[in-house]
Amino acid sequence: MENSSSSSIVSTESEKNSVLNLKETELRLGLPGSDFLEKKAGTGISLFGKDLKDEGNNGFSQIPLKNLVSGAKRVFSDAIDGSGKWGFSMKGGSEVDLGNGGSENNNTLQSCLAGPSGKEIGNPNPAKPVEDKNNENNSTAPASKAQVVGWPPIRSFRKNTLATNLSKNNVVEGKSGLGCVYVKVSMDGAPYLRKIDLKTYCSYAELSSALEKMFSCFTIGQYAPHGLPGQEHLRENCLKDLLHGSEYVLTYEDKDSDWMLVGDVPWEMFTDSCKRLRIMKGSDATGLAPRAMQKCKSQS
Amino acid sequence: MAYSFPEEVLEYVFAFLSSDKDRNAVSLVCKSWYEIERWCRRRIFIGNCYAVSPQIVIRRFPEVSAVKIKGKPHFADFNLVPEGWGAYLYPWISAMARSYPWLEEIKLKRMVVTDESLELISKSFKNFKVLVLSSCEGFTTDGLASIAANCRNLRELDLKESEVEDLSGHWLSHFPDNFTSLVSLNMSCLGSEVSFSALERLVSRCPNLKTLRLNRAVPVEKLPSLLRRAPQLVEFGTGAYSAEIRTDIFSNLVEAFSGCKHLKSLSGFWDVVPAYLPAMYNVCSRITSLNLSYATVQSPDLVELISQCPNLKCLWVLDYIEDAGLKALSSYCKDLQELRVFPSDPYGAEPNVSLTEQGLVTVSAGCPKLQSVLYFCRQMSNAALIAIARNRPNLIRFRLCIIEPQAPDYLTLEPLDTGFGAIVEHCKQLRRLSLSGLLTDRVFEYIGTHAEKLEMLSIAFAGDSDLGLHYVLSGCESLRKLEIRDCPFGDKALLANAAKLETMRSLWMSSCSVSYGACKLLGQKMPRLNVEVIDERGPPDSRPETCPVEKLYVYRTVAGPRVDKPDFVWTMDEDAALRLS
């Protein structure tokens, strides 16, 4: 269904291409205004001048460029509904995730258009931004609105201070919209760290799955037999398997600056007290490691 | 016969030129002026650390005493730039350590600074005086300890909102006992407690200390002791301003503040207990800058305080001030130039305070010198924006954040095009603009046509089509920085205006509709731009060319493609295009 609708829209767009001057759609570079206008003049359409001031169609000018792009816009917004999730897309560090928990969409047009943004772009209706983690977890929508990465535009320092203020004043009760809790995640041996928003996960399982995807590129070498992400084996609660296979332990630094093993306390308590995460080599976590194995086994 | 001034005279004259723009103009006059100028330029500003390389800078300007470098794009402040993207300071320091042994000042913004870099700074520059780290990260308090211990002539240490790994407060104790040159210390972003006695002694022995911004860990009862030792302070940031109200603490505070006859700026006020605010009343008449943006105080208490500050020029405050408080502000503070109102509960579904567009309209009407605005609110109307524009044609910076993306005019349900259009039409000196709310391509037509002095534009969730982007790129003669997120802008406008990008510092587009193919083409055609695709989904050529990229960062550069890219950044250049196509 989705496949056919997207392909039909694509052909509509190419029909438009042929109806209008193909030159209109040529990807060309030029100085602002000049080349663009020249080419336009030939076809009797001008981007500037009186056409722009046309008051037809609700004040928006009728210009081929716009029509073409609105065709593309339709494709975009159609593709967003119910598309699959990118295997590589991260909830924490990147843009709003579409994830419907569905399988990866093989229709490349669809899936690649679906990638970047999780909401209907250009839709004049005041649509709420969509972050589908709730759908994924089959939980009910939170009382506060769903959050978009980096919006409203507030710096981390202020956000973290706000969160502390609100919790201190007990203003927020049961609201999950307390803001984001960005923590750094390091992995021994990896050349750079990542940052994730703990509030976008609801359980240890989700967290470990996300971390596995984020750091899989650093561990594939050690995990040769089952190497590639996306395979069944690696999809479910894979950090534990990763831990088994490559001797990593997930630890976190809590509010008292102690390094703790992830998984001991209830999830809420963990997100409230976690300051940063570290994927530690098992050999460094002497004493921790055997318990880690046991813990993992008991959690599965 | 050639008439020319002797070099020494020209050099003497050039020394009076402080603006980079003027110096750049002077260097274009002729080769000899270029040579003279480059030898006497002492202050360098690098707006984008990847636009140039340390080697190129050093080659051209051999005798520099102050550098200012900016790294990550502005949207990194809102977590849109993945961790590990770049903007590393170390290569700069290691090059400058060799070539600028007399470097005195380093000011950085959004760069990754390591303890190693800080240590190298502290050991390489014998006359080092000023270190400002604004929104930087990557270092710990150990790095600060090196600076404290080794920079014998340090004047300024300012950690403005940097993310510092706070290992302990011990770093402050590394300032030697004979260190007396401190003029400015801002440690407000740090968490852990420093040794109070070390702080007291430091403050006592630095007679030129003008700025002291404490961190949250310093409790209110300790403030009088510091203030008494530094009555010459001009700028002061409190720590946590809360404690059980005790008359002795209160009266100590009053006395200590009264002793500070030169205080002009106050900040801090974490956890403030309103009953302590009156302790500052007798300095308020001289106060020109007040940062209450961490003070969770309600409107009546805020108004009480503000009404004592008739000379206020700059106010940062939370939306607890509400419309009523802003009305009071507009009647008491006629000198106000800058207003920033931050949201106290940005993620709540419902408004928690009575702050609307009306507050801003009132201030725009009552404060004739208002030129810089940052305002978070939950509703806006075209009528309000038009009123603001008509009231305040002298606006220079206007940043409006309506919390709900794509929120329309709440009265008419129309887009806010005409409102923002009025802003750019009336405010002819506008240099910075951030848009929000429901906006169509039309607003960009207004901006492109009218915003002649606009240098920085931030756009989110706006526009209908490429036309919007085209209007901006083909107008806005002064545009230097353009940052866009979640807008339906794509290939056509970008490619048609490729040349414009060379006249700008940078362009950021994330969650837009720019295809990989267009990025490749842009990179191929414009060798003096770095066209960088940031995509965490894996290599862009594993997807079709028509696939939009996650994020695009384009900037002009003379340094060629980056050599320190992480694996989620790809430079679109000729080689890449050939390799990947």
pLDDT tens-digit map of B340-380:
999 999 988 889 999 999 999 999 999 999 999 999 999 99
- Of residues A117, A149, A179, nearest to B80 (C-beta): A149
Q: Which of residues 114-173 of A touch B (CB under 8 A)?
A: 115-117, 119, 121-124, 126-129, 143-145, 147-158, 161-162, 165-166, 168-169, 171-172
- Of residues A25, A35, A122, nearest to B464 (C-beta): A122
**Cα–Cα distance measured from residue A241 to residue A263, given in angstroms and rounded to the nearest whole number:** 15
* Contact between B538 and B571 (Cβ < 8 Å): no
Partner A contacted by B273 (CB < 8 A): no
* Contact between B192 and B217 (Cβ < 8 Å): yes
DSSP B515: B
Task: Name the band, by pLDDT with cuts 50, 70 and 90, for residue B575.
Answer: low
**Cα–Cα distance measured from residue B98 to residue B103, given in angstroms and rounded to the nearest whole number:** 10
List the structure tokens of A239.
Answer: 């950090």
* Contact between B471 and B441 (Cβ < 8 Å): yes
CA distance A193 to chain B (A): 6
**B154 pLDDT more than 50:** yes
* Contact between B277 and B302 (Cβ < 8 Å): no
Cβ contact (<8 Å) for A94 and B550? yes
Buried b (16+ CB within 10 A) or exposed e, B86-106: bbbbbebbeebbebbeebbbb
Report which of B185, B277, B168, B179 is spatially closest to residue B233, judged by C-alpha positions: B185
List the structure tokens of B365.
Answer: 């009407």
Cβ contact (<8 Å) for A194 and B440? no
Segment B26-55 mean pLDDT: 96
Question: What 3-state DSSP class applies to B251?
Answer: helix
Residues of chain B with Cβ-Cβ distance to A68 below 8 Å are: 492
Residues of chain A with Cβ-Cβ distance to B434 below 8 Å are: 153
Partner B contacted by A89 (CB < 8 A): yes
Cβ contact (<8 Å) for B465 and A90? no
**Cα–Cα distance measured from residue B285 to residue B312, given in angstroms and rounded to the nearest whole number:** 8
Cβ contact (<8 Å) for B441 and A144? no
Could you give the angle at which helices A2-19 and A64-80 cross, rounded to 10 degrees?
A: 170
Cβ contact (<8 Å) for B346 and A162? yes
**pLDDT for B271:** 86
Q: What angle do CA B536, B538, B543 make, to 5 degrees?
A: 120
**pLDDT for B390:** 98
**pLDDT for B576:** 52
Nearest C-alpha in A relative to B84: A192
Give B489: exposed, middle or buried? Use CB within 10 Å, 0-12, 13-18, 19+. Answer: buried
**pLDDT for A70:** 37
Q: What angle do CA B364, B372, B45 make, to 5 degrees?
A: 170
Residues of chain B with Cβ-Cβ distance to A113 below 8 Å are: 547-548
Partner A contacted by B512 (CB < 8 A): yes
Non-local CB neighbours of B233 within 8 Å, separated by 6+ positions: B209, B210, B211, B212, B227, B260, B262, B263
**pLDDT for A90:** 35
From first to last of the 300 residues of chain A, give the pLDDT tens digit.
334 444 443 344 444 444 444 444 454 554 444 444 344 433 333 333 333 333 333 333 333 333 333 333 333 333 333 333 333 333 333 333 333 333 333 333 343 443 334 333 333 333 344 333 333 333 443 444 556 889 999 998 898 888 776 666 544 333 334 455 788 888 888 888 888 888 888 888 888 888 887 887 665 444 434 444 444 333 334 445 555 555 678 899 888 888 888 888 888 888 888 888 988 887 766 554 444 445 444 544
Residues of chain B with Cβ-Cβ distance to A112 below 8 Å are: 543-544, 546-548
pLDDT tens, position by position, B201-248: 999 999 999 999 999 999 999 999 999 999 999 999 999 888 788 889
**pLDDT for A108:** 38
Q: What is the DSSP string of B183-248?
A: -EEE-TT--SPPPHHHHHHHHHH-TT--EEE--TTSBGGGHHHHHHH-TT-SEEE-SB------HH
**B538 pLDDT more than 50:** yes
Partner A contacted by B134 (CB < 8 A): no
The torsion region of residue A58 among left (phi > 0), alpha (psi -120 to 50) and beta comes to left
pTM of the model: 0.73
CA distance B128 to chain A (A): 28
- Of residues B349, B438, B492, nearest to A126 (C-beta): B438
Segment B147-152 mean pLDDT: 96
- Of residues A52, A76, A148, nearest to B488 (C-beta): A76
Partner B contacted by A66 (CB < 8 A): yes
Cβ contact (<8 Å) for B84 and A73? no
CA distance A48 to chain B (A): 10
Residues of chain A with Cβ-Cβ distance to B501 below 8 Å are: none
Mutate to test the interface with B, among A52, A68, A131, A162 (most CBs of B within 10 A): A162
Cβ contact (<8 Å) for B83 and A153? no
**pLDDT for A100:** 38
Cβ contact (<8 Å) for A116 and B550? yes
Question: What 3-state DSSP class applies to A111?
Answer: helix
Residues of chain B with Cβ-Cβ distance to A192 below 8 Å are: 83-84, 566
Partner B contacted by A228 (CB < 8 A): no
Task: Name the band, by pLDDT with cuts 50, 70 and 90, for residue B48.
Answer: very high
Could you give the angle at which helices B441-450 and B417-426 cross, rounded to 10 degrees?
A: 0
Cβ contact (<8 Å) for B486 and A121? yes
Mean pLDDT check: name the lowest of A230-234, B255-259, B302-306, B397-401: A230-234
pLDDT tens, position by position, B291-349: 999 999 999 999 999 999 999 999 999 999 999 999 999 999 999 999 999 999 998 88
Give A103: exposed, middle or buried? Use CB within 10 Å, 0-12, 13-18, 19+. Answer: exposed
Q: Residue for token digits 């500003």?
A: B45
Nearest C-alpha in B relative to A25: B492
List the structure tokens of B359.
Answer: 């507050």
Nearest C-alpha in B relative to A218: B567
- The pLDDT > 70 percentage for chain B reads 98
CA distance A286 to chain B (A): 23
DSSP B143: H
Task: Name the band, by pLDDT with cuts 50, 70 and 90, for residue B94.
Answer: very high
- Predicted complex ipTM: 0.90
Cβ contact (<8 Å) for A145 and B347? yes
- Of residues A65, A127, A152, nearest to B403 (C-beta): A152
Partner A contacted by B401 (CB < 8 A): yes
The gap between the terminal CA atoms of chain B, to the nearest Å, is: 59
Nearest C-alpha in B relative to A143: B349
Partner B contacted by A230 (CB < 8 A): no
Partner A contacted by B300 (CB < 8 A): no
Cβ contact (<8 Å) for B547 and A112? yes
Q: Which of residues 254-293 of A touch B (CB under 8 A)?
A: none
Cβ contact (<8 Å) for A117 and B525? no
